[in-house]
Amino acid sequence: MELSDLPLPSGEASPMLQSRDLEELEQLQTTLLERFFGAMSRWQGHWCCLLSIFQAICTFHIFIYVFQTAPKDFWCAPPANLNQMNLSEWRNLSQTSDGCLLLDLDYSQLIVEDGQVTNWPANASDLGYRQCQDFEFSDNDALTLVQEFELVCGRDILSLVETCFLVGAAAGAVLSGWISDRFGRRHTLMAFVTIQSVFGGILAFSTSVAMFMSLRVIIGFASMTVTVVSFVLVVELVSGKWRTVIGILNILPVAVTYVLASGMAYLIRDWRILQLVISWPWLIMLGIWFWLPESPRWLLAQGRLDELCGLIERAAKTNGTSSQLPTNYRKTLEAAVPREVQPQQEGAGSEEVKGDSLEAASSHQSGHVNPLLVVFGGKYWRTTCLTLIIWLTLIIIYFGLTLHLSNLGGNIYINNAVAGTIEAVSICTSILVVLKAGIRRSLIGYMLLPGLCCLATNLVPSQTGVIALATIAKCLIGANNAIIPTYTAMQYPTIVRNFGVGMGNLAAGIGLILVPFLWHLEHIDALLPLNVMGVCGLIGAIAICLMKDVN
């Protein structure tokens, strides 16, 4: 397609940005950038691979909490004079089966000989109970957060502790889009990777639950920002079908990290050491800050042609195509620069741009662009509302199973490693499915099937069958989790793309906050959380059916 073939609007620009103008400007920018960078080149592939590592960094911080708070067997600690008492006898005689209540009697009067109590009161069963003040834990595993701060019984605030990270993630989902749209993808990404790694390391030295919770809010904010911005940067580096392929592959490290985290947690049982291992080594990634490219689409939308031209020449040098760059390609790029940023180009050759077509192209955008008004105005309001529903239902299922698969029983390390392996295969397979069936139909299937698997747990008699169906559902919804960011990004133009994806992540953040409390429903019925996830799958599939398809 030639530049002259693109439809350019004419006439005066309206004070508010129109959706049609946005689409035409986006089409023009996409065509130009694909011409100079290519849809997928060696330079783009190199940076897409490196940027995918950031997804792994974030996943470690999100997922490692599962192992740091792994359940451990506990009981009321015996008083000092009963330390020689047989442990099984102590637990059977003195406390309730859940280890939270202790018989209300004077233990200082009891005498232990050869591990047996010789004067246990005959009327002990008639006595009342009192809350345990001190606990002992099984030594089968090393130190966990639950053990160190005794977060059991009346002090079981794990759902609240987990929610702190997710509240930070929800805030990051909203603000990350604005921050990176304002300051650029590159500096936003690296700044928050620094925050994530530094505060992640400090977390290992927490001296109280309050300190742990406060730091988790900060890490949650940084992690979600890194997740969103690194993904958007990858999608904006490539064009055509590669935006779908690379967008999905960018999420592949998430599933791989589940396997790695399971292995690391199995080998490193102390939660503090484990926290340091997943945090400070990633500071090495700061070494690429200087060389990391900014998003070409963002540079063009901001009218920063000097930086964009430098980036084009770097890419061409790496790809060996420098000789193919036209001598006047900068003037061609100026045709896609929005009017509101064109004054930045004065003195840099923009005054030489003549012709009605270039003037028309510059009228695509004028005045301040409020991303909130764009995504909830014109033709995008319906897309945004459906996006909120889809992301909310998706995250409830995905993280409801990912973070709480251990609630269904079995070995926590093996279950998560197996689920991560299958999910990685599912994500790779989903690329072929998307290219064959289309992205929207693939999303419908990957949302509907997990929902049906969750509902089907009501029909299987054994717990093994329930775990198997839940694992299948997790792997299928994992593929959906890999596809949906790309699908969402393709729904919005460059100037609000990060904000649009951020709106989806806002709904995801709300879903993340709800997930810990969703599993409280298992006290009503063991399968009730899975039934709720099943219904969410059906609702999400319907919402995707109502979305517009994209190429």
Q: How far apart are CA 516 and CA 482, in angstroms?
A: 22
Containing H/E element for 75? strand 74-76
CATH (one of 3.50.50.60, 1.20.1250.20, 3.30.930.10, 2.60.40.10) for 20-70+157-294+371-545: 1.20.1250.20
pLDDT digit string, tens, across residues 298-309: 898 888 888 999
Residue 172 near residue 62 (C-beta atoms within 8 A): no
On whether the CB atoms of residues 358 and 25 are closer than 8 A, the answer is no
Domain boundaries, given as residue ranges, for the chain: 20-70+157-294+371-545, 74-137
Task: Report CA 477 to chain centroid distance, whole Å.
Answer: 14
Average pLDDT across the chain, whole number: 81
pLDDT, one tens digit per residue, over 310-353 is: 999 999 988 888 888 888 888 888 877 776 665 444 444 444 43
For 214, the 3-state DSSP assignment is helix
Lowest mean pLDDT, pick from 32-46, 58-72, 117-131, 482-496: 117-131
Q: Give helix 380-402 / helix 528-545 axis angle, nearest 10°.
A: 150
Beta partners for 130? 102
Record the tokens describing residue 387, joined without a space: 């996006």
pLDDT given for residue 531 in this prediction: 92
Find the Cα–Cα–Cα–Cα dihedral 58, 59, 60, 65, rounded to 10°: 110
Instruction: Give the pLDDT confidence score for residue 516 in this predicted structure.
Output: 78
Distance CA 101, CA 6 (A): 75
Helices (H), 144-286: 145-148, 158-183, 185-203, 209-237, 242-249, 252-267, 271-277
Each residue's pLDDT tens digit, 189-200: 999 999 999 999
The per-residue pLDDT for 67 is 86
Evaluate if residue 510 carries a pLDDT over 50: yes
* pLDDT score for 325: 81
- Asked if residue 223 has pLDDT above 60, the reply is yes
pLDDT in tens, 161-188: 878 888 898 888 778 878 888 888 999 9
Structure tokens at 506: 């806002």
Rg value, the chain, Cα? 28
pTM: 0.78
Which residues make Cβ contacts (< 8 Å) with residue 59, sequence separation at least 6?
253, 254, 257, 258, 261
Residue 221 and residue 199 in contact, taking contact as beta carbons nearer than 8 Å: no
Q: Which residues lie closer than 8 Å to 327 by C-beta, 6 or more apart?
A: none
pLDDT of 365 > 70? The answer is no
At 2-35, the pLDDT tens digits run 333 434 333 333 333 444 566 677 778 788 888 8
pLDDT in tens, 447-474: 999 999 999 988 887 878 888 888 889 8
What integer pLDDT is reported at residue 350 of this predicted model? Answer: 42
122 vs 355 pLDDT, higher one: 122
Tokens in use for 326?
A: 């036209």
